[in-house]
A and B are shown apart, each in its own frame.
Chain A
Amino acid sequence: MPGQHVLDQPLALHPRVALRPEPFGALAYHYDTRRLNFLRSHALVALVRSLSDHASARAAFDATGLDAARWPAYAKALEALIASDFIEPRPIGSNNTSQELA
């Protein structure tokens, strides 16, 4: 959708990404690009995991009860994850497309 902000789109964790819980949040591994990423808060991990249940990232922000003052920081984190392909837009109408790998 041209012109639409990426956070207004339906998003999901890339199906080839696995999350491993860690004391600081989670370690993300992308099986296709073989890249590691650090999700550095538990709130961010919960948000990322919930993306596929919501129509957009903003809806997911709302649902997790995240303080609006912290939205910009989390939006920035999500944009970085999109840029590195850990999170991707999902087709409209689909949900729960993410899948945990062993």
Chain B
Amino acid sequence: MTALTEELKLGLDAPICLTWELTYACNLACVHCLSSSGRRDPDELSTEEAKAIIDEMMKLQVFYVNIGGGEPMIRPDFFELVDYATTNGVGVKFSTNGSRISPERAEQLAAMDYLDIQISIDGADAETNDRVRGEGSFQTALDAMDNLRNADFGPFKISVVVTRENIGQLDAFQALAEHYGAELRLTRLRPSGRGVDSWHELHPLPEQQVDLYHWLLAHPMTLTGDSFFHLNALGDENLPGLNLCGAGRVVCLIDPVGDVYACPFVLHDEFKAGNVRDEGGFAHVWKESDLFTELREPQSAGACSSCGMFDACQGGCMAAKFFTGMPLDGPDPECVSGHGEAALTNVGVEARPQSTSNHSKPVIVSLGPTRV
């Protein structure tokens, strides 16, 4: 444990990594969507309100913001907001399914500074990807990548949520990234949003976690958003990153209606710190809210305090514990020592928290077909 990690646990004056979901509207209906997106919320922030948030970020010296959704490019003022941010010293990295990146849009994006793009795919082939993200979504993403390459956008990012079904394709993802001159980003599947159910079928198996840990050590340039620190208990070597839960300390999320949550994986009333429309705006929520103050206090290791690996894994991910119905001061459901698996079998389906912010379209979203 470094002194820096201890200092970061006490919280920063402003977030390092701020995720901002611009809209709940989405043309896809991925089975693991963290924000249960689909339909636009009528109460979403106006263009003026969104610009006021960017003004506040400038003042707080939030150097860049991670924009997501929903599908953020669906917002009619998407380019106006990105332009406003990047020309005022707030860099933008945005996540998209690529459906709106036409050749013309790609040219427009390539002409902008301080802009990073992450195209999401969850399989290295259409069959694996489309089962999670929907029919045709793999080809849509590839078309967007082609358009960005043809427009000379430069290196973009290919963002993959690691699942039981695609974990054998890590080398194929790496090859795809190299083919496009792109960077590969791998993140952890969380049981949040619509993932509350699909996680149980899709999260990596214990032996797959071991493979992932070694793959990440062998490919240290892979971007991970520090999301796999629970794997550090697998060996003597730590994965690159801060190795801590940053919720409310160094990260937070602003949702499309201005609600501020502790991290992008906990869109639930229990982790809502306030709203940017409240008096004092975002800065007040970040600096003064009861929830964030509490998250910056020393956290108990609880049931993990007797485990020798706690310094390595930090008890894992708060969101993963919460949405599987497990105590926050106990093991992560994917604890590499197996403590989570054992605890998970004792938690019934009814103990999983119900979503408090669901914008799914009124259709049943389930895993797609798989070839036998």
| Stretch of A17-25, A64-72, A75-83 on the interface side | A17-25
Q: Which residues, 64 to 103 on B, are CB-close (under 8 Å) to A?
A: 64, 88-89, 91
**Chain B residues in 8 Å Cβ range of A27:** 12, 16, 61
Assess whether B13 is in contact with A22, with CB atoms less than 8 Å apart.
yes
Task: Check: B218 CB closer than 8 A to any chain A CB.
Answer: no
Contact call B89/A40, Cβ cutoff below 8 A: no
Q: Kindly supply a per-residue 1/0 record for chain A positions 69-101, scoring 1 wherever the CB is within 8 Å of any chain B CB and 0 otherwise.
A: 000000000000000000000000000000001
Q: How far is the CA of A14 from the CA of B64 in the complex (A)?
A: 18
Structural contact, B7 and A23, CB atoms closer than 8 A: yes
* Contact A102–B10 (Cβ < 8 Å): no
Contact of B63 with A by CB under 8 A: yes
B58 within 8 A of A: yes
A5 at the interface (CB under 8 A from B): no
Cβ distance B114 to chain A, nearest Cβ, rounded Å: 7
Closest approach, in angstroms, between the C-beta of B220 and any C-beta of chain A?
15
B13 in contact with A31 (CB, 8 Å): no
B: interface residue count bin: 10 to 19
Interface size counted on chain A using CB atoms at 8 A: 15
- Complex formed: what's the CA distance from A34 to B16 in Å? 12
How far, in whole Å, are A38 and B114 apart by their CA atoms in the complex?
21
User: Is B372 on the interface with A (CB-CB < 8 A)?
Assistant: no
Within 8 Å CB of A20, what residues of B?
13-14, 61, 63
Chain A proximity mask over B1-33: 1 for CB below 8 Å, otherwise 0: 001100100101110100000000000000000
Are A34's CB and B116's CB within 8 A? yes
| Distance in Å: Cβ of B44 to nearest Cβ of chain A | 26
Looking at B63, B89, B114, the one whose CB has the most chain A CB atoms below 10 A away is B63
A24 touches B88 (CB 8 A): no
By beta carbon, the residue of chain A nearest B57 is A102
By the criterion CB–CB under 8 Å, are A102 and B89 in contact? yes
CA distance A51 to B181 in the complex (A): 38
CB-CB under 8 A from B12, the residues of chain A are 22-23, 27
A23-B13 in contact (CB<8A): yes
Report B148 CB to chain A, min CB distance, Å. Answer: 18
Q: Is the CB of A34 within 8 A of B64?
A: yes
Contact check, A36 vs B13: say whether CB atoms are below 8 A apart: no
How near does chain A come to B12, taking the closest CB pair, in angstroms? 6
Distance between A21 CB and nearest chain B CB, rounded to angstroms = 7
Chain B: minimal CB distance from A15 (Å): 13
Q: Roughly how many angstroms separate A29 CA and B16 CA in the complex, as a whole number? A: 10
**Contacting residues, chain A, for B88 (C-beta < 8 A):** 102
Report which of A21, A34, A38, A102 forms a contact with B4, defined as CB distance below 8 A.
Answer: A38
Q: A19-49: which have CB < 8 Å to B? A: 20-24, 27, 29, 31, 34, 36, 38, 40
| A40 proximity list for chain B (CB < 8 A) | 3-4, 7
Instruction: Report the Cα distance A66→B58, complex, angstroms.
Output: 33
Contact call A34/B91, Cβ cutoff below 8 A: yes
A20–B12 Cα distance when bound, in Å, is 10
Residue from the list A21, A22, A31, A38 in contact with B91, Cβ < 8 A: A31
Complex Cα distance A102/B87, Å?
A: 10
Set of chain B residues within 8 Å of A38, measured between Cβ atoms: 4
Contact B10 A101 (CB under 8 A): no
Closest to A30 in B: B63
Task: Name A residues whose Cβ lies closer than 8 Å to a Cβ of B.
Answer: 18, 20-24, 27, 29, 31, 34, 36, 38, 40, 101-102
**Apart from A31-B63, A40-B4, what 5 extra A-B contacts exist at CB < 8 Å?**
A18-B61, A23-B12, A24-B4, A36-B16, A38-B4
14 A/B residue pairs, CB under 8 Å, sorted by A: A18-B61, A18-B63, A20-B63, A21-B13, A24-B7, A27-B12, A29-B63, A29-B64, A34-B64, A36-B63, A40-B4, A40-B7, A102-B58, A102-B89
